[in-house]
Amino acid sequence: MNRIQVKLQEDKKLLSIYFTAGYPKLNDTVRTIENLESNGVDMVEIGLPFSDPLADGPTIQASSTQALHNGMNSSVLFDQLKDIRKTVTIPLILMGYFNPILQYGVEAFCQKCEEIGIDGLIIPDLPVEVYHEQYQTVFEQHGLLNIFLITPQTSEKRIRYMDSISKGFIYTVSSASTTGSQIGFGKDQTNYFKRIVEMNLDNPQIIGFGISNQETFSQATKYAKGAIIGSAFIKFVSENGVNDLKQFIEPIVKKL
């Protein structure tokens, strides 16, 4: 069973952290993952930087630009992660855009993910139909779960289609905007979360975009299996580095 599937079976709310590979410094990637696990994070999303990150807000865009300037790319990331399973046991998900994967070669990319112990991929600009018709077999041959994103504008028919070909979780985007933290969730967003819950999907949901602290994490996980923090974490490491993440993670983990 895939590590993501095992984690989703745990009787707790899950905290997932997104960070940009190669940021703040090129060689911070492995240290960040190890420190996140040691501080109680349940899953890690490793962002592969891209020059045109359409779904990302200014914080993650800036981190991607810096990481690219630092020299990060697919080959460098795979080299950095080649021994990651000697020290890390939690699920690891690569999040990135499809162009770098195409350039690397989809099958070669998936094979490399399998070799180093990646559990899933989140590719915001890969249409569900294209994945289903052209790439699902390749992903599954290499033990990779593809995680689909839904928004408040995604139709019920499309959500159920994604759910029918998913084997992990549904990434519930809290709003139609780009990534970034916010103060809290309004009535429209909570109604949207409730609507998804009432659909009784086969796959659990994890909410992302707009989660920044214990308060927004608690709000989100009233309606989902877990939540993802990205921009707020990147702001933290921009100011504090990656060696001591306890200050950021502990207040959230204590409430789990």
- Give me the residue spans of the domains in the chain: 3-250
Question: What does the pLDDT read at residue 183?
Answer: 54
% pLDDT > 70, the chain = 94
Q: In the CATH scheme, what architecture does the domain 3-250 have? A: Alpha-Beta Barrel (3.20)
Question: What does the pLDDT read at residue 187?
Answer: 87
45 part of the active site: yes
d(CA 189, CA 175): 7
pLDDT digits (tens, 9 = 90+) for 122-180: 999 999 999 999 999 999 999 999 999 999 999 999 999 999 999 999 999 987 554 44
Residue in 28, 37, 42, 45 annotated catalytic: 45
Residue in 28, 56, 79, 250 annotated catalytic: 56
What's the pTM value of the predicted model, to 2 decimals?
0.94
Alpha helices per DSSP H over 39-172: 58-70, 74-80, 98-104, 106-116, 128-130, 136-141, 156-164
119 part of the active site: no
